[in-house]
């Protein structure tokens, strides 16, 4: 895939001055997100990292339309987000497949609901089964799959609906490190083919640098963007990119930022 010119590409996602506050049991207010703004250009792989509780998932849920900001607005493809919609696909950490449906039926679920004719449906599903290398398991049920395979189905299901943006909340968080690594590589390959805008939340700094074009480092209490870091590593990412001096330097920069934040909160 040709490099996207991040300076000129239109913003697929705009988060404008978004705050999220919750009432506390003692009558006060807890600020989960404080005036967060960011713009994700079309086809960018944006990663959000930050300490536990900094509001990463909250930001993703707001973008999905599963919750509303207290202030500010979220705009996807020029439309203000007010509710969930098929333009935003989601992949969560927990396995969210329909257990009573086969792999094929899970992937085609949204297409069927939209009334896509069976022949076209089969073509789309076969394409994504091949993309996530699950064609031999098309007629299996989720309980017959490993955790990594289930997440591959979840990715295929989200992409089959042809969303404008893919929202991923720690999708590999429950996997062992080897499977996680394989999944990261698989996601990169699928993303390079699908040319989708991705917003990916993770705790894992290596994962953030390996996957992202841009890393948004968040700080907590209140949740806000501390720094935006561009990842100038070549794509496709070389096999041993984690050992490259540029990779290690970025890791150092992000570790220092997160370390500062922890010390700022709990001196
Ligand atoms: N419904 C709610 N009522 C009150 N507080 C909430 C609610 N939902 C989330 N919070 C608080 O908002 C903050 C942000 O939560 P969020 O889950 O977005 O953080 P996170 O960065 O994704 O954390 P983690 O990495 O641990 O998943 C947390 O302190 C959380 O306790």
Q: What is the ipTM of this complex?
A: 0.94
In order of start, what are the domains of the chain with their CATH numbers? 9-87+166-183+196-266 (3.40.50.300), 95-162 (no CATH)
Q: Report the atom number in ligand 1 closest to the C-alpha of 23.
A: 4
71 CA from centroid of ligand 1 (Å): 17
Specify the pLDDT at position 264: 59
Query: Cα–Cα–Cα angle for 34, 38, 40, nearest 5°?
Result: 150
173 CA from centroid of ligand 1 (Å): 17
Q: In the chain, what is the straight-line distance between the N-terminal and C-terminal CA atoms, in Å?
A: 46
**pTM score, two decimals?**
0.91
30 CA from centroid of ligand 1 (Å): 10
Can you name the residues that pair with 86 across neighbouring β-strands?
A: none
Specify the pLDDT at position 95: 72
Q: Whose CA is closest to atom 25 on ligand 1?
A: 52
Tens of pLDDT along 162-193? 999 999 999 999 889 998 999 999 999 999 99
């Amino acid at each position: 895939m040709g490099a996207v010119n991040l300076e000129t590409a239109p913003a697929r996602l705009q988060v404008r001055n978004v705050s999220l506050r919750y009432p506390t049991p003692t009558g006060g207010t807890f600020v989960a997100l404080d005036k967060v703004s960011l713009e994700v250009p079309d086809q960018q792989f944006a990663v959000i990292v930050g300490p536990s509780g900094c509001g990463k998932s909250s930001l993703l849920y707001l973008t999905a339309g599963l919750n509303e900001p207290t202030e500010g607005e979220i705009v996807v493809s020029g439309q203000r987000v007010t509710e969930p919609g098929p333009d935003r696909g989601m992949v969560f950490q927990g396995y969210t497949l329909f257990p009573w449906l086969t792999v094929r039926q899970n992937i085609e679920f949204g297409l069927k609901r939209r009334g896509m004719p069976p022949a076209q449906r089969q073509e789309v599903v076969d394409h994504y089964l091949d993309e996530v290398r699950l064609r031999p398991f098309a007629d299996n049920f989720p309980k017959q799959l490993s955790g990594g395979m289930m997440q591959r189905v979840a990715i295929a299901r989200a992409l089959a609906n042809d969303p404008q943006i893919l929202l991923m909340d720690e999708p590999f968080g429950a996997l062992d490190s080897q499977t996680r690594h394989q999944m990261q590589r698989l996601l990169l390959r699928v993303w390079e083919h699908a040319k989708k805008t991705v917003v990916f939340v993770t705790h894992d700094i290596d994962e953030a640098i390996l996957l992202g074009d841009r890393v948004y480092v968040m700080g907590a209490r209140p949740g806000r963007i501390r720094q935006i870091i561009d990842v100038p590593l070549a794509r496709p990412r070389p096999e041993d990119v984690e050992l490259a001096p540029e990779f290690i330097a970025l890791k150092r920069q992000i570790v220092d930022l997160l370390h500062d934040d922890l010390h700022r909160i709990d001196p």
